[in-house]
């Protein structure tokens, strides 16, 4: 038996770990299962290149919960570790990493957004355990070892009689973490973080119903058998090539991601790039409501098939956070603040790539089937308009597919709109006035007055339209937007100089005083303007 002291400069690092990371206790399982996965995939690589002279077989990771003993076990069949490797990777690397992590983030952990992300590794086990044991046997011909630590800097290292290759981690669960001894809680965490990991993960067994044998009676019960309960899909759709997937595969994966979402998405975008960064994923365009705040936190961020977060702000362009789907990239730095993310060159490239792919997909759909694109417009316009407003590169590309619906249920591109309104919409100063309504029913009479003069009226009813209009006016020289009910139609597109009032100044002042006296309690501001004799009376409120 060997006893030793973990080489860290703090007397007891584990209370610090619990203090700063308590709110994300649950990530211990993700971290330990991720380590087990890495060990398994490392063995596969060594076998593939001929360095490991062992049979790879069909390894899996197993999670066991023992409520009586208050233990959780994570067992893998990966590379394993010998005594030297335990000392290096557990006593030195893991704990020096813990010290560095806490020293760097202890003052800003709550604000920086790093909690719940990678980098915690093995020592996250002490967030829920009073004592941790490691029993490991290397794929090499070395003796198995048994390491244990009770949450102090002291550890013990003993020989073990383990004969099978791989590593078993035993967590002796602390009193304040007893919820993790419930099967339902472990199932929840595995489904949240490890649902798509590349190595099969077993948690208990399940009963499988078999076909009845030939000649069985109708009242005879079908035979059953107990099989491993594998909780994960090791080959999710985003890890495959787009050419190998059909429309049904994308629909099926959407249902797997969002089992409680019964409405199918309108279309999807498959992301797949390996240079100058690695990124894969699938984004889905769902039918979207007008409420922008209800749409966010639906895209799931993964790193090597391990769930990290569904808060992708700073990684995905803000306007695309209303979409659904998955993004997987090992090149996104996770243990950093949001402000750092936004300035990171890799993240900027990823953001630019995603924006371009979405714009290209929309342009392709428009070009391929404009009628279908028009039919979907009201369900996707809020994303497109938000993108035009917030992303200059997307705005430039949107010229190819953005539509401007009219009150007559037709859809025009900007080029078609220009051709249709032509000289008719130009005012006396040569500026082209684009008329729009935000509500067909409430603004019906104003729309009809405009149409009587042959004017085209757009229907722009998204909540961000006022802001988007400002941007379009900045980009389109000589164009100005006017809401159809904001003044009389003659004033909105003024063809001549101002009308001269037939009332004298004395008469105008008398009329204004009379109106002000009558409307004093309402607090209206009275302003008299001359209109053409054919114009309707008009009150702006």
Residue 390 and residue 423 in one domain: no
Over residues 297-325, mean pLDDT = 86
* 3-class SS string, 185-239: HHHHHHHHHCCCCCCCEEEEEEEEECCCCCCCCCCCCCCEEEEEEECCCCCCHHH
According to DSSP, residue 88 is labeled I
| pLDDT at 93 (0 to 100) | 55
Q: pLDDT tens for residues 400-409?
A: 999 999 999 9
Over residues 110-136, mean pLDDT = 70
C-alpha atoms less than 13 angstroms from C-alpha of 401 in its C-beta half-sphere: 29
Q: Which of 394, 418, 435 is the last residue of a domain?
A: 394
In a domain, residue 219? The reply is no
| Gap between the Cα atoms of 313 and 315, Å rounded | 5
Residue 278 and residue 316 in one domain: yes
Specify whether the CB–CB gap between 1 and 158 falls below 8 A: yes
Residue 188 and residue 71 in one domain: yes
Q: Sorting pLDDT into bands at 50, 70 and 90, what band is 248?
A: very high
In a domain, residue 193? The reply is yes
**CATH number of residue 189's parent domain:** 3.30.565.10
Residue 410 and residue 335 in one domain: no
Asked whether the bond before 276 is cis by omega within 30 degrees of 0, the reply is: yes
| pLDDT at 109 (0 to 100) | 43
| Gap between the Cα atoms of 264 and 198, Å rounded | 27
Least confident interval from 361-365, 393-397, 511-515: 511-515
- Domain residues for the domain of 6 are 2-207
C-alpha atoms less than 13 angstroms from C-alpha of 375 in its C-beta half-sphere: 7
Residue 22 and residue 124 in one domain: yes
In a domain, residue 221? The reply is no
Least confident interval from 4-8, 78-82, 527-531: 4-8
Q: pLDDT tens for residues 91-103?
A: 775 555 555 555 6
| pLDDT at 15 (0 to 100) | 63
Q: How many distinct structural domains can be found in the chain?
A: 4
Residue 66 and residue 202 in one domain: yes
Give the helix ranges, DSSP H, for 71-182. 83-86, 95-105, 109-112
Q: pLDDT tens for residues 39-67?
A: 999 999 999 989 988 999 999 999 999 99
Two structure tokens written together for 287? 């039918």
Residue 190 and residue 242 in one domain: no
The proportion of the chain whose per-residue pLDDT surpasses 90, expressed as a percent, equals 54
Residue 327 and residue 262 in one domain: yes
* 3-class SS string, 319-351: HHHHCEEEEECCCCCCCCCHHHHHHCHHHHHHH
**3-class DSSP assignment, residue 470:** helix
CA–chain centroid gap for 36, Å, is 26
| Gap between the Cα atoms of 220 and 390, Å rounded | 65
**3-class DSSP assignment, residue 60:** coil
Of 419, 431, 435, the residue nearest 478 (C-alpha): 431
Give the helix ranges, DSSP H, for 75-142. 83-86, 95-105, 109-112
Tell me: pLDDT of 500 over 70. Answer: no
In a domain, residue 224? The reply is no
In a domain, residue 227? The reply is no
According to DSSP, residue 474 is labeled H
In a domain, residue 33? The reply is yes
**3-class DSSP assignment, residue 433:** strand
Q: Which of 328, 359, 394 is the last residue of a domain?
A: 394
Residue 161 and residue 42 in one domain: yes
| pLDDT at 426 (0 to 100) | 92
Q: pLDDT tens for residues 335-391?
A: 555 566 667 777 888 889 999 999 999 999 999 999 999 999 999 999 999 999 999
According to DSSP, residue 87 is labeled I
Q: pLDDT tens for residues 219-236?
A: 888 888 999 999 999 999
Q: Sorting pLDDT into bands at 50, 70 and 90, what band is 110?
A: very low
Helix axes 370-390, 345-368, angle to 10 degrees: 150
| pLDDT at 505 (0 to 100) | 78
| Residue 481 CB partners (closer than 8 Å, separation 6+) | 433, 434, 435, 436, 469, 472, 473
Q: Sorting pLDDT into bands at 50, 70 and 90, what band is 241?
A: very high
Helix axes 13-21, 95-105, angle to 10 degrees: 50
**CATH number of residue 362's parent domain:** 3.30.230.80
Q: pLDDT tens for residues 276-288?
A: 888 999 999 988 7
| pLDDT at 9 (0 to 100) | 44
**CATH number of residue 464's parent domain:** 3.40.50.11260
Residue 301 and residue 435 in one domain: no
In a domain, residue 445? The reply is yes
Q: Which of 190, 207, 224 is the last residue of a domain?
A: 207
Residue 44 and residue 179 in one domain: yes
Q: pLDDT tens for residues 127-145?
A: 899 999 999 999 998 999 9
Residue 352 and residue 431 in one domain: no
| pLDDT at 115 (0 to 100) | 36
| Gap between the Cα atoms of 154 and 3, Å rounded | 7
| pLDDT at 113 (0 to 100) | 37
The proportion of the chain whose per-residue pLDDT surpasses 70, expressed as a percent, equals 83
In a domain, residue 259? The reply is yes
Strand 145-149 and strand 129-137: pairing? antiparallel
């Amino acid at each position: 038996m060997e006893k030793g002291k973990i080489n860290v400069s703090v007397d007891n690092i584990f209370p610090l770990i619990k203090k700063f990371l308590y709110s994300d206790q649950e990530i211990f399982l993700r971290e330990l299962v991720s380590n087990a996965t890495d060990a398994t995939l490392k063995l596969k690589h060594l076998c593939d290149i001929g360095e490991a002279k062992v049979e790879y077989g069909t390894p899996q990771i197993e999670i066991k919960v023992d409520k009586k003993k208050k233990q959780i076990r994570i067992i893998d069949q990966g590379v394993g570790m010998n005594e030297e490797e335990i000392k290096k990777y557990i006593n030195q690397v893991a704990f020096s990493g813990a010290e560095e992590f806490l020293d760097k983030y202890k003052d800003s952990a709550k604000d920086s957004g790093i909690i719940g992300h990678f980098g915690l590794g093995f020592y996250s086990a002490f967030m829920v355990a009073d004592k941790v044991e490691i029993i490991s046997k290397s794929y090499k011909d070395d003796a198995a070892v048994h390491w244990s630590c009770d949450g102090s800097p002291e550890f013990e290292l003993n020989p073990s009689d383990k004969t099978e290759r791989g590593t078993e981690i035993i967590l002796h669960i602390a009193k304040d973490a007893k919820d993790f001894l419930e099967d339902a809680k472990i199932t929840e965490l595995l489904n949240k973080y490890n649902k798509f990991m590349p190595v099969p993960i077993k948690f208990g067994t399940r009963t499988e119903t078999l076909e009845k044998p030939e000649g069985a009676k109708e009242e005879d019960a079908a035979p059953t058998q107990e099989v491993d309960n594998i909780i994960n899909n090791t080959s999710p759709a985003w890890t495959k090539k787009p050419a190998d997937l059909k429309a049904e595969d994308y629909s099926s994966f959407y249902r797997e991601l969002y089992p409680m979402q019964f409405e199918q998405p309108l279309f999807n975008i498959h992301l797949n790039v390996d240079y100058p960064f690695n990124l894969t994923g699938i984004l889905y365009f769902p039918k979207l409501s007008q409420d922008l705040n209800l749409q966010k936190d639906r895209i799931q961020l993964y790193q090597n098939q391990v769930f990290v977060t569904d808060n992708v702000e700073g990684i995905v362009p803000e306007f695309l956070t209303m979409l659904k789907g998955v993004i997987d990239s090992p090149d996104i730095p996770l243990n950093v603040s949001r402000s750092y993310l936004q300035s990171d060159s890799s993240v900027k490239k990823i953001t630019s790539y995603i924006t371009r792919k979405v714009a290209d997909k929309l342009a392709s759909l428009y070009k391929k089937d404009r009628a279908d694109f028009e039919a979907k417009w009201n369900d996707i316009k809020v994303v497109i308009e938000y993108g035009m407003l917030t992303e200059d590169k997307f705005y430039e590309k949107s010229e190819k597919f953005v539509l401007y619906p009219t009150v007559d249920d037709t859809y025009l591109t900007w080029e078609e709109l220009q051709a249709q309104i032509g000289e008719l919409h130009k005012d006396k100063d040569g500026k082209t006035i684009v008329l729009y309504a935000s509500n067909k029913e409430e603004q019906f009479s104003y729309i009809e007055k405009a149409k009587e003069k042959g004017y085209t009226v757009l229907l722009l009813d998204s909540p961000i339209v006022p802001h988007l209009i400002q941007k379009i006016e900045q980009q389109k020289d000589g164009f100005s937007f006017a809401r159809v009910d904001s003044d009389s139609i003659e004033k909105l597109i003024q063809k001549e100089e101002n009308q001269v009032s037939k009332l004298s100044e004395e008469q105008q002042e008398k009329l204004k005083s009379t109106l002000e006296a009558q409307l004093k309690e309402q607090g209206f501001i009275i302003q008299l303007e001359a209109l053409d004799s054919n114009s309707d009376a008009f009150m702006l409120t």
